[in-house]
Chains A and B, each alone.
Chain A
């Protein structure tokens, strides 16, 4: 029983972390229908920002979050005004290949600057700490903090989108950019803002994740793939959808844990030999595939 409970808790915590990774992707997609392949690279930059700031200044990694957010916000706006803005004039394929190129550029820049070595944080208030809440459930402090921040970020973005004029302008831009322009909404600025928020949320996620995952220049792809799966599952452009789909994906990555639960509860020898942990992301991609085939607009997507 403890195996089952601890798997569910771990899955939900990881799900919230993955949800915040996908948040930026879904905002950018929602506002301007662009699929940002470089999303994982933004996360990687956030991870390096958190790691290097903490190591250079000696402050706790948690205090580097505002720095990472600022870096991501500025980077998002620079990417938009300096690059993406021009892609919008081209066909859809240009946008796809353009962000793909941005991904390669950022990744190789990181390789040039940081080298291919894995780096990890080993010191910090939360690093390596965990709470034993009984029933065999162990909660790592870093993941708890990340999950808390995820809820806060989703709450913040939801409020921004639904309760402020800027949010209404963003929503208008996403529903009908041309119409929004006629109404006097500066859609270019709204797009830039979407990229800024998208970049800022994902770099915050990165600076949090580096508290418990190691970073190297190639880490982005894994997160891009997972973020895509979450966004597809939740419905492209849906903010609450991304949150719930994150939780679902988190639980899906815990399938090996449920497998272990069955293995040891019923003592089925053959089950112990199945390499479930090696396949943990396979289930995520399988879910991605199924949702694309069976319900392309996702669980919470708009009917168009």
Chain B
């Protein structure tokens, strides 16, 4: 009897010990901390919401096994090479302010001890944040800043997945040449003299001012006449003198690089001033966020925007459709250039970590430099992700590509973006010329 009691106590205490040890053993799994710095408030807050949702969805797919998504990240739960380690994102809000961004990066590195950084949308902020990352030797992946200069600084800890504005702007001029050659779906060849004169208005931080330079460069190279090129402050509460100046140039083609609130204001003012260009083109960003079409409604019909993702991609790319369905269930919106690229940014982090098998900065650096993600893993219509390690550009993805979309009114009255470039994947006839206000 006594021995029975004794063994009973022994069993009980054993069970208790196991009970105490096991849960702590189960949580001992490593957590990888990544700091994500985005404009969650301020003029680009609408884009910030998209960026954040894209990252969050990618983290869900990375941390748990999700059925029916044909990408390796979704099939694994956590980082398998690190014993199923989970990714934790610490979001910070830079409000579009480069100085604040740099401070936040320091905080993330020194206080939160993050293993890597992700961000920052505005090229101006990415510039300062990546300088902090470089100084501390912390790896940073950038998914959506397109100023060409970011990857010409020879940084060792900075990698960019998105193509940059030199590619996108070349796309625009290729598109215009295609228009004169009758390559655009649904439009007969347009005489070059009809679209000969251009005018550009770009916001004046890092991103817009580089776009402005690139436009100037390409209009010379492709033989167009850039009548007017101006920079404006993205916080400007009023753009009527800018728009009147654009109108005064009597340009056939109007080109913009704008963030959210200024893009909306610009189009509103163009409409109020009854400007009559033949082509209106926006360099993504503000021209693509859902707020742009939600706010302006029918006034956006006919506007072109460059992007890297359009819902129409779903028709040619199965995995994009699968992720888009999950994103739509989560947010109510389709993926956009912003959310698809922030998703891809985090996905790149997952692949880098998987390859590195460690959070040691040196291991991550080597893994990123050797990375090669095939195109079929991605939601964006790129050939893949592979970073340049030599030459003028360091850390730039060499396999990216862009699209040009046009806002059109679908049969059900919805305003959708149709693909007009590249010509071989065009999803609808282009509206040309731009409808008169």
Contacts and interface: CB of A to CB of B under 8 A. Distances in A.
Interface of A: 3, 6-7, 10, 115-118, 120, 122, 128-130, 132, 138, 140, 212-216, 218-219, 222, 253-254, 256-257, 260-261, 263-264, 272-273, 275-278, 280
A256 B245 contact: yes
Contacts of B45: 115, 117
Contact of B241 (A132, A261, A280): A280
Contacts of B245: 256-257, 260, 276-277
A277 B264 contact: no
A272 B228 contact: yes
A257 B228 CA distance: 13
B249 A272 contact: yes
Ordered nearest first, which 8 A-B pairs have the shortest CB separation? Answer: A118-B261, A213-B237, A260-B248, A3-B248, A130-B272, A116-B42, A277-B242, A118-B43
A220 B268 CA distance: 23
A210 to B, nearest CB: 9
A206 B238 CA distance: 14
Given A130-B273, A272-B227, A277-B230, A254 B41 contact: no
B261 A214 contact: yes
Given A130-B272, A130-B273, A256-B245, A222 B240 contact: no
A212 B404 CA distance: 30
B230 A278 contact: yes
B106 interface: no
A181 to B, nearest CB: 42
Given A118-B237, A138-B272, A140-B240, 20 more contacts: A3-B248, A10-B241, A115-B41, A116-B42, A117-B43, A117-B261, A120-B261, A128-B271, A128-B272, A130-B272, A138-B273, A214-B261, A214-B265, A275-B230, A275-B231, A277-B242, A277-B245, A278-B230, A278-B231, A278-B233
Given A117-B43, A216-B235, A256 B241 contact: yes
7 contacts: A3-B244, A116-B42, A120-B264, A138-B272, A257-B248, A264-B248, A272-B228
A130 B243 CA distance: 14
A213 B273 CA distance: 15
B91 interface: no
A49 B237 CA distance: 17
A253 B241 contact: yes
A278 B204 contact: yes
Given A122-B295, A128-B272, A254 B235 contact: no
A114 to B, nearest CB: 10
Interface string B381-414: 0000000000000000000000000000000000
B43 A278 contact: no
Contacts of A129: 272
A150 B162 CA distance: 50
Contacts of B244: 3, 6-7, 10, 257, 260
Contacts of A218: 235
